[in-house]
A and B are shown apart, each in its own frame.
Chain A
């Protein structure tokens, strides 16, 4: 069997999810055996050529040329997988979507006019068809290897989409929301981290984005009952997955 060709692409991001690939120290040698890593700028000089069986895309779309490039990548890929909060929901930099770009530019650059950037940072799925999304800031490396293995044997990846609360119960972690009265995003957030923050006694801050049919309004009402202001509530949602939480919330209000 010919090895599937993989291309790894980066848009606007911190590289943390690409690094997750390099952090699969135990598996990376096997990955190289099983796949032909044909394009991966961060790790190899191989030039961009030909078509890919799988393209793994990190980062959000935040400039004009990226809009063009993602279409090219899609056209040359049999399957396209997005990895990480930037690629699946615009990332932390999507906070600019609710602000004025010119004021952002002015604050950072002495000569803001020469900086090319869109006024929004959006997920890949807003631009092209995406076959599979791996959420998380950063993604979980086990989810990535599950996805790659699933591709090889032709099954759907078994990655859960239920809320973090399930994970907490399974780990026997006392509820941070109910017993400690902390503003935890667990009930509306996808599992995937292994209940990290709650096991450290801190409330979940939403790295893995909204779970399917999350009831955001109801949780925010509870937050207001425990003394948070509307502004506090918004700043809880407005982190690495703000674009996705806001979208789900608007759809929920309908």
Chain B
């Protein structure tokens, strides 16, 4: 039967979200459905580009940590960690154990504040169908717990880094200044209380209502022999990937789509590029054995079975990691002894290095090339959110296909929730990579 254009139009519907809320940064969503099939699905990113890689070129190496921090106000430590380790690798130095531990503590602070923000203020309201964390009296008590956790994370950052947004203490070779044991120990009673509280919270998130959207997908994170990964390790996936950091970057294919200021990326396969997912869920699925027994027990007690194959349940992984970050912060502070040497000296070296660390939202890849005076010649930054975009779209596509007969409003709201469950950081994602031909 021949269908005229007008009739075709009548069969297609367009679902639009102009401006996503409760995510970091600026993006929208368009879903076009025709003849019960999704024909177009786009996560539009209209966040204005800032061209970080461009103005990093020609800057001295010691500016890099201050500059890259400004890519993201929520996860500046992640940028400082990936860049400082990459530069230390070029200079061929490895920091001493107390420094490694304190940098891990700094990361704990960031995981706590970032995860607490997302669980309680950005993602949490979705499960109660409210517009914000303070729009219902009932939820406000839950939100206050989140604020309490977040504040402690910020306090760790402030003691170690001077302030929680754009800390100032990280330098090549270590820190500008070491914290004193007294001010760190003063946090312990509150941290212990928060840890006990956060353990109980795992049960709360496990009891939330999730749409069923399990699928066989690829989870990518760092793995490490002796610890839950933050600053060190190999890159691995549940599909058998396991390689050193510098090898992994060669396996990532970045590509530009015409509706986004953020590049997308996937893993190079023989004839195609396949989406993958990074972040708390990937870390938990691949590193569950590295968690302390009491957290593992709580996961079992809450009735969570691993691996979790429904990406919408990432709030559970975030909550597990929140508890773990408290646990780890307490351990590091307990073991920390006053240590005088805040940094080790290094000599300028020409060279190139890749380093990957686990930002709250997943692996953050940095590559730097320095000249012999320590100035940046070239650099590449691949944030976790750019790595997740292709996967987010694939995820929404599956969901829409499975719910194609549902009301438009339902599809729209649930798709927004899917995007939110990834905790996208759009400001981060709008810094894209340069292939090596310059």
A residues adjacent to B (C-beta < 8 A): 10-20, 22-23, 25-26, 28-29, 32, 37, 40-46, 62-63, 66, 91-93, 95-96, 99, 103-105, 107-111, 114-115, 117, 121, 137-138, 193, 196-197, 199-202, 205, 207, 235, 239-240
Query: Which of the residues B48, B66, B73 comes within 8 Å of A15, measured between beta carbons?
Result: B73
Contacts of B20 in A (CB 8 A): 41
Contact A99 B121 (CB under 8 A): no
Q: How far is the CB of B271 from chain A (nearest CB, A)?
A: 20
Contact A22 B121 (CB under 8 A): yes
Contacts of B258 in A (CB 8 A): 111, 114
Contact B117 A92 (CB under 8 A): no
Please report the C-alpha to C-alpha distance between residue A200 and residue B158 in the assembled complex, in whole angstroms: 12
Tell me, yes or no, whether B104 is within 8 Å of chain A by CB. no
Evaluate whether A14 and B151 lie within 8 angstroms (CB atoms) in the complex, with A107-B57, A108-B53 already known. no
Query: Which of the residues A13, A63, A107 comes within 8 Å of B53, measured between beta carbons?
Result: A107
A118 nearest in chain B by CB position: B48
Contact A16 B63 (CB under 8 A): no
Contact A200 B169 (CB under 8 A): yes
Evaluate whether A44 and B132 lie within 8 angstroms (CB atoms) in the complex, with A14-B70, A16-B73, A108-B432 already known. yes
Please report the C-alpha to C-alpha distance between residue A124 and residue B49 in the assembled complex, in whole angstroms: 17
> 20 A–B contact pairs at CB < 8 A?
A15-B25, A16-B72, A25-B154, A28-B147, A41-B21, A42-B21, A42-B23, A44-B132, A46-B132, A92-B52, A107-B54, A107-B57, A107-B438, A108-B54, A114-B258, A117-B51, A200-B176, A201-B176, A201-B177, A239-B66
Q: How far is the CB of B112 from chain A (nearest CB, A)?
A: 12
A31 nearest in chain B by CB position: B134
Please report the C-alpha to C-alpha distance between residue A43 and residue B135 in the assembled complex, in whole angstroms: 11
Which chain B residues (39-70) contact chain A, with CB distance < 8 Å? 47-55, 57, 59-60, 63, 66-67, 70
Contact A42 B165 (CB under 8 A): no
Please report the C-alpha to C-alpha distance between residue A254 and residue B51 in the assembled complex, in whole angstroms: 32
Please report the C-alpha to C-alpha distance between residue A205 and residue B166 in the assembled complex, in whole angstroms: 12
Contacts of B162 in A (CB 8 A): 196-197, 199-200
Contacts of B72 in A (CB 8 A): 14-16
Contacts of A202 in B (CB 8 A): 168, 171, 176
Tell me, yes or no, whether B210 is within 8 Å of chain A by CB. no
Q: How far is the CB of B422 from chain A (nearest CB, A)?
A: 16
Contact A25 B150 (CB under 8 A): yes
Please report the C-alpha to C-alpha distance between residue A117 and residue B46 in the assembled complex, in whole angstroms: 11
Q: How far is the CB of A197 from chain B (nearest CB, A)?
A: 5
Tell me, yes or no, whether B255 is within 8 Å of chain A by CB. yes
Q: How does the 8 Å CB contact mask read for B224-258 relative to A, with 1 for contact and 0 for none?
A: 00000000000000000000000000000001101
Q: How far is the CB of A68 from chain B (nearest CB, A)?
A: 13
Contact A14 B55 (CB under 8 A): no
Q: How far is the CB of A57 from chain B (nearest CB, A)?
A: 14
Contacts of A18 in B (CB 8 A): 73
New A-B contacts (8) at CB < 8 Å, excluding given A14-B71, A41-B20, A44-B21:
A19-B73, A20-B165, A29-B140, A95-B55, A109-B49, A115-B49, A138-B73, A196-B162
Tell me, yes or no, whether B163 is within 8 Å of chain A by CB. yes
B428 nearest in chain A by CB position: A14
Q: How far is the CB of A24 from chain B (nearest CB, A)?
A: 9
Please report the C-alpha to C-alpha distance between residue A200 and residue B66 in the assembled complex, in whole angstroms: 15
Q: How far is the CB of B109 from chain A (nearest CB, A)?
A: 12
Evaluate whether A105 and B51 lie within 8 angstroms (CB atoms) in the complex, with A15-B74, A25-B147 already known. yes
Please report the C-alpha to C-alpha distance between residue A150 and residue B253 in the assembled complex, in whole angstroms: 52
Please report the C-alpha to C-alpha distance between residue A193 and residue B67 in the assembled complex, in whole angstroms: 18
Q: How far is the CB of A66 from chain B (nearest CB, A)?
A: 7
Contact A43 B132 (CB under 8 A): yes
Contact B131 A45 (CB under 8 A): yes
Please report the C-alpha to C-alpha distance between residue A121 and residue B60 in the assembled complex, in whole angstroms: 23
Please report the C-alpha to C-alpha distance between residue A202 and residue B67 in the assembled complex, in whole angstroms: 16
Q: How far is the CB of B304 from chain A (nearest CB, A)?
A: 28
Q: How does the 8 Å CB contact mask read for B119-144 relative to A, with 1 for contact and 0 for none?
A: 00110010000011111000010001
Contact A108 B431 (CB under 8 A): yes
Contacts of A196 in B (CB 8 A): 162-163, 168
The 4 closest A-B pairs by CB, nearest first: A16-B73, A44-B132, A45-B131, A104-B54
Q: How far is the CB of B7 from chain A (nearest CB, A)?
A: 33
Q: How far is the CB of A118 from chain B (nearest CB, A)?
A: 9
Evaluate whether A117 and B48 lie within 8 angstroms (CB atoms) in the complex, with A14-B427, A108-B431 already known. yes
Q: How far is the CB of A142 from chain B (nearest CB, A)?
A: 12
Contact B256 A200 (CB under 8 A): no
Q: How far is the CB of A176 from chain B (nearest CB, A)?
A: 11
Contacts of A114 in B (CB 8 A): 256, 258
Q: How far is the CB of A13 from chain B (nearest CB, A)?
A: 7
Evaluate whether A23 and B132 lie within 8 angstroms (CB atoms) in the complex, with A41-B19, A111-B258 already known. no
Contact A111 B256 (CB under 8 A): yes
Contact B256 A235 (CB under 8 A): no
Contact A110 B435 (CB under 8 A): yes
Please report the C-alpha to C-alpha distance between residue A207 and residue B165 in the assembled complex, in whole angstroms: 12
Evaluate whether A23 and B165 lie within 8 angstroms (CB atoms) in the complex, with A45-B21, A93-B51 already known. yes
Q: How far is the CB of B284 from chain A (nearest CB, A)?
A: 25
Contacts of B154 in A (CB 8 A): 23, 25
Contact B50 A92 (CB under 8 A): yes
Contacts of B113 in A (CB 8 A): 23
Contact B255 A110 (CB under 8 A): yes
Contact A19 B74 (CB under 8 A): yes
Contacts of A22 in B (CB 8 A): 117, 121, 150
Contact B122 A109 (CB under 8 A): no
Contacts of B67 in A (CB 8 A): 92, 239
Q: How far is the CB of B345 from chain A (nearest CB, A)?
A: 15
Contacts of A91 in B (CB 8 A): 50, 70
Contacts of B24 in A (CB 8 A): 15, 42
Contacts of B151 in A (CB 8 A): 23, 25-26
Evaluate whether A200 and B177 lie within 8 angstroms (CB atoms) in the complex, with A28-B147, A110-B255 already known. yes
Evaluate whether A138 and B163 lie within 8 angstroms (CB atoms) in the complex, with A44-B21, A99-B55, A239-B66 already known. yes
Query: Which of the residues B21, B71, B150, B434 comes within 8 Å of A108, measured between beta carbons?
Result: B434
Contacts of A37 in B (CB 8 A): 134
Evaluate whether A137 and B166 lie within 8 angstroms (CB atoms) in the complex, with A17-B73, A41-B19, A114-B258 already known. yes
